[in-house]
Amino acid sequence: MENYRTYLTEEELPTHYYNLRADMEKKPAPLLNPGTMQPMTAEELEGVFCSELVKQELDNDTRFFEIPEEIRDYYKTFRPSPLVRAYNLEKVLGTPAKIYFKFEGNNTSGSHKLNSAAAQAYYAKKQGLKGVTTETGAGQWGTALSMACAYFGLDCKVFMVKTSYEQKPFRREVMRTYGAEVTASPSDTTEVGKKILAEFPGTGGSLGCAISEAVEAAVTREGYRYVLGSVLNQVLLHQSVIGLEAHKALEKLGVTPDIIIGCTGGGSNLGGLIAPFMGEKLRGEKDYRIIGAEPASCPSFTRGKYLYDFCDTGKVCPLAKMYTLGNGFMPSPIHAGGLRFHGMSTILSELYDQGLMEAVAYEQTEVFEAAEVFARAEGILPAPESSHAIKATIDEALKCKESGEEKVILFGLSGTGYFDLLAYQQFNDGTMTDYIPTDEDLAKGLAFVPPQPEEK
């Protein structure tokens, strides 16, 4: 019998990030300057992001970027991450399918986000910057960034969505322990925050709003840049380490997946997991079914529109063409399962639009039911976000049970759920409810989408 866990050695850690865009015939749409409606130039972006990351953001052609030794050394403190054969889950489900998951929760931040935080902190330090600013929703990204900043010696300012700030005080303390300054958003420390507070007094905040504040805090401070934990091309590039490791580990086992599944918030863990596999698919070497799993309460792929939109509520960011619910979309406050961003990675949006991947949406109670099945079978307490991928995996595995097909399913277990116990409490108490936005709710969010550029 194959081992439960397949580890690569440190020597087998990827030496290069893989840039999926290089193999896309039709490239993801460029970021636009909302003032001129022209593609953002490197110069414009360098006011907000650090230079090396701007290069990575705009580069659609370079297939591999070398991972600097300093980043690889840091990766060795928590990578390679294990590829796990979910024997126990298979048994519980009674499925002939073989289920594997790539487990990214084995670091203090509890998620895959540290992969990109490490790279972003390193490049900021190398440029001689003093610090970085960012937003965090559930808190995983802020935690990951504060860890990476502590390691590379950078100041870190985190704007944390107010509802999370109040509901997840422990997450805040982890960030502070790593030296980050954490501010509840919206706050009166930025102009855009003051404006949002005046317009929506008592608001619990949103990711889009915290992004606006973090960008303002960066551009108004000497020696600071803004960093983002998902959505951007550079983040998917860094996250390709997940897929590269998974690909190599499966190769060692002599196994080829039929279906690859991940949850999608902004698209970074799925984009990273599928990168080398999608590359093979794009080059016509292999074929895989690829599925993104999202919440029915924030259904960017399944009910959003493929449009240019702002990534933030304050409209200070460039326009990105993506599957979006509109920057005016406010997810229901009863939604506890994460993945609340209104938009989606432009890379995944383009792949989805071309029919190269699928998407499914789940209600939160069924997601937590899947989380419970998984936790009891495999022992790991999954993040609610990751549990969307678990739900999709269980559904596919049960289809195999019906048809008798022995498919191989690979899914991304993006993180652990230790800081999501309020949501688990609601589920265990039976007080968790589902809210699916009506078409009217969605129309409201889309009302704020800017006029679209003319088709060329």
Which residues would be at the binding site for ligand PLP (CB under 6 A)? 111, 113, 140-141, 230, 263-269, 339, 383, 385-386, 414-415
Distances (CA, A) of 288 to 115, 215, 281, 347, 406: 25, 38, 7, 17, 15
139 or 407, CB closer to ligand PLP? 139
- CB of 212: closest distance to ligand PLP in angstroms? 19
> Which of 376-397 are b and which e, b meaning 16 or more Cβ less than 10 Å from the residue's Cβ?
ebbebbbbbbbbbbbbbbbbbb
Contacts of 241 (CB under 8 A, 6+ apart): 13, 14, 17, 67, 75, 79, 115, 272
268 or 393, CB closer to ligand PLP? 268
Distances (CA, A) of 327 to 165, 312, 332, 446: 22, 6, 14, 7
- CB of 140: closest distance to ligand PLP in angstroms? 3
200 or 306, CB closer to ligand PLP? 306
Residue nearest to ligand PLP (CB): 415
Q: Which amino acid is at 145?
A: L
- Is residue 243 within a helix (H) or strand (E), and if so which, with residue range? helix 233-253
164 or 212, CB closer to ligand PLP? 164
- CB of 111: closest distance to ligand PLP in angstroms? 4
Residues 171/139, Cβ–Cβ less than 8 Å: yes
- CB of 133: closest distance to ligand PLP in angstroms? 18
- CB of 292: closest distance to ligand PLP in angstroms? 8
Residues 143/108, Cβ–Cβ less than 8 Å: yes
Give CA–CA dist 165/154, Å, rounded.
22
- CB of 331: closest distance to ligand PLP in angstroms? 13
339 or 408, CB closer to ligand PLP? 339
164 or 268, CB closer to ligand PLP? 268
Give CA–CA dist 147/77, Å, rounded.
12
- CB of 104: closest distance to ligand PLP in angstroms? 7
- DSSP 8-state code for residue 108: T
SS3 content of the chain, % helix, strand, coil (to 5): 45, 15, 40
140 or 146, CB closer to ligand PLP? 140
81 or 269, CB closer to ligand PLP? 269
Give CA–CA dist 390/382, Å, rounded.
9
- CB of 414: closest distance to ligand PLP in angstroms? 3
Residues 160/210, Cβ–Cβ less than 8 Å: yes
Residues 426/406, Cβ–Cβ less than 8 Å: no
- CB of 100: closest distance to ligand PLP in angstroms? 18
- DSSP 8-state code for residue 424: H
230 or 364, CB closer to ligand PLP? 230
